[in-house]
Chains A and B, each alone.
Chain A
Amino acid sequence: MADFHGHLALRAAARPEDGVTALASQSFRAPYHLSKPYWDADTRTLLVQVVNPTAGILSGDRLESAVSVEPGAAVLLTTPSASRVFCMRADSPAASSLQHFSVAPGGWLEVLPEPLVPHRGSRFHQRTVLDVAPGGSAFYADLLFPGRIAHGETWAWDRLILELEVRSGPALLLRERLDQSASDLHALATLAGSGEHASFGNAVFLAPGLAADPAPVWRADLHALQTDGICIGASPLRTGAGWSIKFIAPDGIRLRQTLGAIRRILAPTAPHLACDARKL
């Protein structure tokens, strides 16, 4: 089976004549493919859908993506379906993904991929760097399912590393590394009473002016989402330029609903969050 060395590079810029965001440059190679972008005039956001036309992520796949948003541009980057990481033979190479997102002052980027679904015996390392210049704004959300829930196959991956690094200009705000075995994360979910289908959301939110308000009203609204098995907590990152929002739900449906609620709560602060990711 051939390994994929997927590559995606996008640069979004605001057109000088009307401020509408367009892809100023793009290049991609399988397994990446782009749907035709959609300009959402209501929220003035360019909706870009990245499609993986193959079944999913396979042994040896090396995916690299770089997305940059220039001043005045606004992009919602999403995927149409879950990213499945398939079973790998013990002697075959793992799969990896390196994602780099950068936002210039006055730019907006929302990254809203569908959930990651690691199958039995899979090995996957994802490293994400979110680089937001002071004056830029971003919302990034990663969703993780414990496996193929509908098939009764959960907590069965071999190795899963999810790294997230967030920078505001030269300042390192966050460097997280989720590197638990399936059994250890399952044991934590059991300890917390989150159930066999516990699903995870990890979001960060950066916008100008956040540092000036260490106790925004929306935090109480986010924390009020903690009902009926949902766990959620929001806390300012170092320097206060951004926030970490973590949430756990007893199943995938509730996880998506919670993410939707989070976006609605934050939308008055960041109006581009009102853009509907499913318009395409």
Chain B
Amino acid sequence: MTSAPATSTDAAWLVGLLQAGDSFYPTGGYAHSFGLEGLIELGVVHDRETLRSFFLLSALPTLRQAELPLAAHAYAAFDPVAPDWTRVAELCVLAHALKSPRELRAATDNIGRQRAELAARLHAHPLATDYLARAVSGSWPFSAAVSAALEGRILGAPRDAVLAGITYSTLSATLAAAMKLLRLGQNAGQTLLTEMLGHAPEIIATANTIPLAGIGWFNPWLDIASARHETANSRMFIS
């Protein structure tokens, strides 16, 4: 798998990725904690140190072994000259099959759908409109990682920049949820985010080496917490 060169100026795709990674971008990510609320309810995560451990032991490996490899393969499949729609469909299904808890699938479905529809609306690119038409007719589930790869291709961004964007938006969204759920200040949050983003080059490099058959990773406690969150009496986040 190789990264295609940028098809527009660096500034053009760079601002596009910044826009897509901003919390102002209406993908609905702000409504999800991606299982973290459940883990807090279980008592696994309860302060800055345990949150840091959660990022190191769970959030980063999930990115490295599942979300980023999915996006890397989707990026290859969304070749603007000859899209591999069979592979795209396979990746959409795989993105859901990798998540046993229903809420985690709903989260990636909602965010992925919003992001793909936004990409089509904002950029009027044939790749996006074609993807949406095929996804509807084929009942493909949506995936945040697959839609991020689609958007990256539309913007002309190189693969690793797309993966960096996914890394940032995933970590920052989880951290934003954590700041609503835990006693965590702005500075502590940014310090943690900076530390985790420092792992981005390493996890992106590894993600690019993972074959389709090797995609997948799960944290048993996160899956249990997410499954229980479905029936929680009170909750702040959808997932």
Q: Is the Cβ of B97 less than 8 Å from the Cβ of A188?
A: no
Task: Check B97 against A191 for contact (C-beta < 8 Å).
Answer: no
Q: Say yes or no: B101 contacts A233, CB within 8 Å.
A: yes
- B223 and A246 within 8 A (CB): yes
**CB interface residues, A 174-205, toward B, < 8 Å:** 174-180, 184, 187-188, 191-194, 200, 202
A-B contact count (CB 8 A): 97
- The closest CB in chain B to the CB of A175 belongs to B97
Interface flags for B212-233 (1: CB within 8 Å of A; 0: not) read 0011111111011111101100
Q: How far is the CA of A175 from the CA of B225 in the complex (A)?
A: 19
Q: How far is the CB of B68 from chain A (nearest CB, A)?
A: 15
Name the residue of chain B whose CB is nearest to the CB of A163.
B216
Docked Cα-Cα span, A202 to B224, in Å, equals 11
Complex-state Cα separation, A248 to B227, whole angstroms = 14
Interface string of A124-138 (1 = CB under 8 A from B): 000000000000000
Contact B220 A246 (CB under 8 A): yes
User: How many interface residues does A have (CB within 8 Å)?
Assistant: 37
Which residues in B have their C-beta under 8 angstroms from that of A248?
220-221, 224
Stretch at the interface among A4-12, A235-243, A250-258: A235-243
Contacts of A176 in B (CB 8 A): 98, 100, 216, 218
Interface residues of B in 46-86 (CB under 8 A from A): 50, 53-54, 57-58, 61, 65
Q: How far is the CA of A238 from the CA of B230 in the complex (A)?
A: 15
- Measured CA separation A231–B94 after assembly (Å): 27
Q: What CA separation (Å) do A109 and B216 show in the bound complex?
A: 26
CA distance A219 to B42 in the complex (A): 18
Chain A residues with CB under 8 Å of B53's CB are: 187, 191
The distance in angstroms between the C-alpha atoms of A186 and B61, with both chains bound, is 15
Known: A177-B214, A177-B215, A188-B219. A235 touches B227 (CB 8 A): yes
A235-B216 contact given A191-B53, A192-B221, A244-B227, CB 8 Å threshold: no
B105 nearest in chain A by CB position? A238
Instruction: Check B231–A220 contact: CB distance below 8 A.
Output: yes
Asked if A231 and B93 make an inter-chain contact with CB atoms under 8 angstroms apart, the answer reads: no
- Per CB-CB distance, the 10 closest pairs between chain A and chain B, nearest first, are A233-B227, A177-B216, A233-B224, A235-B227, A244-B100, A235-B101, A175-B97, A192-B221, A172-B97, A192-B44
- Contacts A233-B227, A244-B223 given; 6 further ones with Cβ under 8 A? A177-B216, A180-B217, A184-B57, A192-B42, A193-B43, A194-B221
13 contacts between A and B (CB under 8 A): A174-B97, A176-B216, A177-B65, A180-B61, A191-B44, A200-B220, A226-B228, A233-B101, A234-B227, A235-B102, A244-B223, A246-B227, A248-B221
